[in-house]
Chain A
């Protein structure tokens, strides 16, 4: 069985993730938000080593060592990494996203990637009960509104411990 993911026609989907349809039919192609809120994607964990990155104006080659990759990774923005259990359902690379709070960061991401958002937050924007987020080494305190502040140098980890039988 093959799975096709990340190609929803979600233009009418209501929820905290906005109404933008996710357009990434190919998960291996990293597309930043066209409004440039997302300034750079670091595609180090791309499963097929596709390091291209479309900005809306140009397609950058972010292969490690390339000039564009240095420009991209020099941008100081919070880095967001998803745990392995979520990667099984929604494989995503580590990315850098602008935002003053962890909620800002995630909501910006999920406007572009609606399906990914449904795995992390419920439709009211609350963190799902068994999903946890760490900013560096500290668990977020505000699970309802995700108002915990984050700095450009922060590492944000989204993960979950599986349980049940």
Chain B
């Protein structure tokens, strides 16, 4: 069981620690700074935080001493486009993921308006992955909820760190087998209800809200799509749709058991024009048989007048497969230590939560 939980919110980074009296957090780091992404690198213990100051742009900080001190480095920057007033500029750092154990110092960052960046020196400098940025298909990407498309999911294959799988809203699933030198569209089988019928299965037009691989069975990738729940058994090349999950197949987050790829958790919401718990009842759905059946877990969660929405990076499972954390846009923070059977509220009045992470 982890005893530390990082919580990235609209008003700063909170660090919850468990002691004999339970889970508690002190004042946040970066008070009033909207945290858009955070990462604790298991390879060297560094913590990375991305902020989106509405007035001053996106900022990037690293701590090498568990948050006691922070150093700011220049955030990823898009290449200068001479003579073009519409050249791309960083809008948000949406995801940060470490490279493999054989790639020390390598950090990947997915951003709005759709660029993937890599750093080979622990975030001190960044470079745009032009092999993806310059793909013709990117012209078909479009914003889903934001003004621009963005990369929110980055899966590094633990068996081969050169293999990457990305989730893009809206641009579908993309894969590389050579550390990002070349890319190909994947995600066949994803389906969008809102597209013209002939384009419903167009892989580049898909909106996978989040994709997550089983840590120790990385061929199994679960996808919480705008349109429903999908599962892949070939590392994201193809997906099968899972329908009729109660109370809803709509949501943003998905967490996958690290050792049991048939077990995954979702945080459903009433689709998609409402985005609140169905009938005001906050639940987590769990499958333990690869999506054949789902349980609705509600113990410890509000069952009346709940308007909590769980964003895509705010539902996570720890490496033990039992401890889960979940944070909502309403500022509720919940924790389960038995696979979601029971939930405890750690706070009901945090700022809107963008991401949670066990460390």
Q: CB within 8 Å of B: which residues of A? A: 1-5, 7-16, 85-86, 89, 114-115, 118-120, 122-126, 128, 130-131, 144, 160, 162-164
Contacts and interface: CB of A to CB of B under 8 A. Distances in A.
Given A89-B56, A119-B57, A130-B54, A5 B80 contact: no
A9 B120 CA distance: 13
Of the listed residues A4, A7, A86, A163, the one surrounded by the most CB atoms of chain B closer than 10 A to its CB is A4
A125 B80 contact: yes
Contact of A10 (B29, B55, B56, B73): B73
A123 B77 contact: yes
B178 interface: no
B69 interface: yes
Contacts of A86: 56
Given A3-B72, A4-B72, 14 more contacts: A2-B68, A3-B70, A4-B71, A8-B124, A9-B121, A13-B125, A16-B80, A118-B56, A123-B77, A123-B80, A126-B85, A128-B57, A130-B55, A131-B56
A97 to B, nearest CB: 20
Interface of A is mostly: loop
Contacts of B73: 8-10
Contacts of A9: 73, 121, 124-125
Contacts, number: 92
A2 to B, nearest CB: 5
A4 B56 contact: no
B81 to A, nearest CB: 7
A13 B73 CA distance: 10
A2 B85 CA distance: 38
Contacts of B85: 124, 126, 144
A95 to B, nearest CB: 19
Interface of B: 29, 53-57, 59, 67-75, 77-81, 85, 87-90, 121, 124-127
A115 B127 CA distance: 17
17 contacts: A1-B70, A4-B69, A5-B72, A8-B124, A9-B121, A9-B125, A10-B124, A11-B125, A13-B77, A13-B126, A15-B77, A86-B56, A115-B72, A123-B77, A123-B80, A125-B80, A131-B55
B55 A160 contact: yes
A122 B87 CA distance: 10
B56 A126 contact: no
Nearest to A22: B74
Contacts of A162: 55
Of the listed residues A2, A119, A124, the one surrounded by the most CB atoms of chain B closer than 10 A to its CB is A124
Contacts of A13: 74, 77, 125-126
A154 B299 CA distance: 66
A89 B74 CA distance: 14
B69 A114 contact: no
Contacts of A15: 77, 80
Contact of B55 (A8, A85, A125): A85
